[in-house]
A and B are shown apart, each in its own frame.
Chain A
Amino acid sequence: MTQALASAELTDPDERRGGTGGIARFVLGKLGAAVTSLLLVVALGFLLFRMIPGDPVATLTRDRPTSPEQLAQLRVRLGVDKPLYQQFLDYVGGLLHGDLGTSFGYNRPVADLIAERFWPTLLLVGTATVLAVALGLWLGVRAAWRRGSGFDRAHTGIALTLWSVPQFWLGLLLLIATHGLFPSGGMRSPDAGPGFFDQTATIAYHLVLPCVTLLAVLYAQYMLVMRSSLLGEMDAEYLTTARAKGLRDDLVRRRHAVPNALLPTVTLVFLQFGMVVSGTVTVETVFSWPGLGLLTYEALRVPDLPLLQGVFIVLAGSVIVMNLIAEVLYRVLDPRVRAR
């Protein structure tokens, strides 16, 4: 990365000035596109969840004594007695005030529920992503540098296999295979003390299995992209030059080839991050990790319309924001894109 930035310094000063003005315009343009996408998400989210079959009132009251008056009362409380356009206007009005509505099932503000569940998911996804990036890049570089070797073939094979394995199944398999070495579910042990160290320890301990599951599925993409992008650089003449200078193979790889091959992977990391947040539904469900994924799963079962809408907007929003960051970052990192 430093290499890429350093090479940016070397570009013509005039061109760079033009580039800076371009970047402001570029960012504004992308920002506009992101806001438009977000508005579409809001509208689409509303319509989409109204198309799910099932009456939330009937589902909420299934299997327990309820009178018609109770049902009617519940309908008024949930706001599902109003016409669709009125519900939409109410919803958009609420959104403008930062109000995501009130969950049917929990009877609490959706924004509170999401805020509460956001940190566990961020912890899980963040840890898994950092580890997956590190592992993926490391393996990818090594596999590409020794293309066709036993190491390359074995690791590409393993990565492809793990990538195609269903997360749900892999999680359960790990759970059974580790034989009680790690907790079967939850984020904290009920008996952990309230102190900082006790809490950190218990959370770290509970994080192991879900994190490894997510990691196993995630790292493959980074590895494969890193591998193919480094392979693309391998025949470049500057590497021959570097070798001709008499640099050790190690240094040629680390100082010259890898930084140039890093770009597509960095972009992928950011693009993926948004997707991973929404993709934790299965992992969180297997390990009862109290995050956004689990919240989504629960909301789907009711179905809890306001909660689903809220989660949908937050997840779609995170993908949009990460896309935006990736696009801007790509431009910052790669002088070739900026020069265009």
Chain B
Amino acid sequence: MFRRWRAGAAVLAAVLVAGPFAPAAQAQEGGKVLRVALVQEVDHLNPFLASFASSTMIGRMTWEFLTLPSAEDNTPSPGLATSWKTSDDKLTWTYTIRQGVKWSDGQPVTAKDAAFTLNRIMTDKKAQEANGTYVENFASVTAPDDQTLVIRTKAPQASMTAIDVPIVPEHVWAGIGDMEDAKTDTVPVVGVGDGPFLITEYRPNELVRLKANPDYWRGKAKYDELQFISYKNADAAVNALQNNEVDLVNRLTPTQFDALTGKSGIATNKANGRRYRELLMNPGAQNADRRPIGDGNAALRDVRVRKAIAQAIDSQTLIDKVLGGYGQLGGGLLPTSYPRYHWDPSDAQRYKFDPAAANAALDAAGYPKGADGTRVGPDGKPLELRLLGKASEDFSLRAADYVVSWLGAVGIKVTKQLVSDNEVDDRTNAGTYDLAFSGWGTSPDPDYTLAKQTCAALPASSGSSSSASFFCDPQFDALYQQESTELDPDKRADLVKQAQARYYDQVPSLVIDYDNPLEAYRSDRFSSFPKQPANDGNIMEQSGYWSFYGATPAEGGSGGGGLPAGAWIGIGAAVVVVVAIGGVTVARRKKTADDQE
């Protein structure tokens, strides 16, 4: 009995010895490092293939763009191009490339690199995977000299100052025959860049390490190293932030965010988001040949029914109760973080939560209430809708109950269908839904977001949809056409808003809210990060590298350094335990041997 106590005491002592040192040991010393928890995986570092948000974010550090959205308000600002002008017929764009910029291997950056990059995407199908849409309208790209890049487009294009394509060095990438070769994800290839940081190490699913580019044309960043560390579990990432293993975490849930708020040494950031969350109402799915597809309820083809549903849903309650208040009431398709293009309905236009008005509208549309309180359509069938949502998503799970009860109150019977993410994608693409929770990320240039709602975005065949809303409206299309070719910024913004107003009026989907991205960082190690847009924007997943490039280490903040001493102490503790147990065992064996004799 006593022996067992002795072994127990040895273990306890070892743990107690290791305990107090381990957490302190993880705080680093020496060079300044920004450690970012990456909860999303990296698919590729090769910028021609990289398509996950995390991968494109890393690519933004390494290769400079022609132009990039400014940190202040997302308006186009100079990058590799110092200035740009367009011809009178609006078909030819001439960019002046910055002089004196060098690749990290010492070669100069010229217009020929830009021309090579864009031409490669235009001519090599494999190189189109990530950024193919940006060059669709290009007729030719040439570099008459080292400082001039000329792009001729097939039709006027307003988004020419928002070409979100990383420009890569020709002398490195010209030698790559197969764009999908695995070596394009290795440091010798992706490590050559001209951005604020250069990739120095890539361990898939563990780490991407970058060093500050000393020759970066804007000047070296205020710290030395940037690490993106993989966490597959958001709770573990939050734990790592609290334990000072990482400095920055994003994509927090409201619960995690609230738990971190007010903690010493940690600052939280509730940002204006770039995503909109919506309730799709299948307005009659059809394919590009205008043949009906899917099995959506015919009642939703009536815009009056869709409007009544919009009136029966209390978006503000969903924001307050389901999102913990971390969202802004939705209006148009472009969130408030793009003030130039964001559109909000006027008080008179807005669908206010008003069950009485919804009831009246449904009566007027020809859906009177039946004996059991469920409305009956002109075809004599009760008005029953399916509501599709992701079983993996907290919002869908909880918001579905609210929607079922609100619509039930106005006589629409709703059945919840909470399924896998893939099934939601599949069914919204194929039009086999009535109502569905969905949402999209938007880019600073409104073109893509609006293009998805045009008739041209209808699927060529079932299941190949690029639009989930199946909206096809001549009036909206006309506004989109004008917007996409309008080069006067104010006129364009006005057209963009008109198009959103038309969408809102026809409600193929109800934009519920714009979620607030929730982030947290170690304020004891980094005092500030530039946000995009300024003041209320996000830190991670910006359209640009502003936050990482401009991060300011805190006074006395440390970072970097060798192996955490805690590791050694942990090992030491383990050795002590093993020796203790071994000792006890040997002692016991000896004792038994004695007994035997």
Contacts and interface: CB of A to CB of B under 8 A. Distances in A.
B23 A179 contact: yes
B49 to A, nearest CB: 7
A281 to B, nearest CB: 11
A165 interface: no
A68 B133 contact: no
Contacts of A285: 232-233
Given A184-B239, A201-B563, A73 B125 contact: yes
Interface string B565-597: 011101100100000000000000000100110
A105 to B, nearest CB: 6
A74 B466 CA distance: 14
B129 A189 contact: no
Interface stretch (B201-209, B358-366, B478-486): B201-209
Interface string B432-469: 00000000110100001000000000001001111000
A180 B22 contact: yes
Nearest to A102: B180
A286 B35 CA distance: 19
B373 interface: no
Contact of A182 (B51, B136, B440, B570): B570
A297 interface: yes
B129 A184 contact: no
A243 to B, nearest CB: 15
A106 B53 CA distance: 15
A62 B424 CA distance: 12
A55 B237 contact: no
A183 to B, nearest CB: 6
Contacts of A251: 592, 596
A5 B59 CA distance: 62
Contacts of B182: 107-108
Q: In this complex, which of A64, A297, A298 has the most chain B Cβ atoms within 10 angstroms of its Cβ?
A: A64
B206 A67 contact: no
A55 B429 CA distance: 10
B472 interface: no
Contacts of A66: 132-133, 466
Contact of B231 (A67, A107, A184): A184
A65 B562 contact: no
B44 interface: yes
A63 interface: yes
A290 interface: yes
A64 B51 contact: yes
A122 interface: no
A52 B422 contact: yes
Interface string A165-197: 000000010011001111111111111110000
B250 to A, nearest CB: 16
Contacts of A286: 232-233, 235-236
Given A62-B425, A191-B562, A186 B239 contact: no
Given A52-B422, A53-B426, A55-B425, 11 more contacts: A65-B134, A66-B466, A179-B243, A181-B23, A182-B22, A185-B230, A186-B229, A191-B563, A248-B595, A286-B233, A286-B235
28 contacts: A52-B422, A53-B420, A53-B423, A53-B426, A55-B429, A59-B421, A59-B422, A65-B133, A66-B466, A107-B43, A179-B23, A180-B239, A181-B23, A184-B237, A184-B239, A185-B229, A185-B237, A186-B207, A186-B230, A186-B231, A191-B561, A191-B562, A198-B563, A201-B567, A201-B570, A204-B567, A284-B232, A286-B233
Interface of B: 18-19, 22-23, 26, 28, 33, 35, 41, 43-44, 49, 51, 53, 125-126, 128-130, 132-134, 136, 180, 182, 203-207, 209, 227, 229-233, 235-237, 239-240, 242-245, 419-423, 425-426, 429, 440-441, 443, 448, 460, 463-466, 560-564, 566-568, 570-571, 574, 592, 595-596
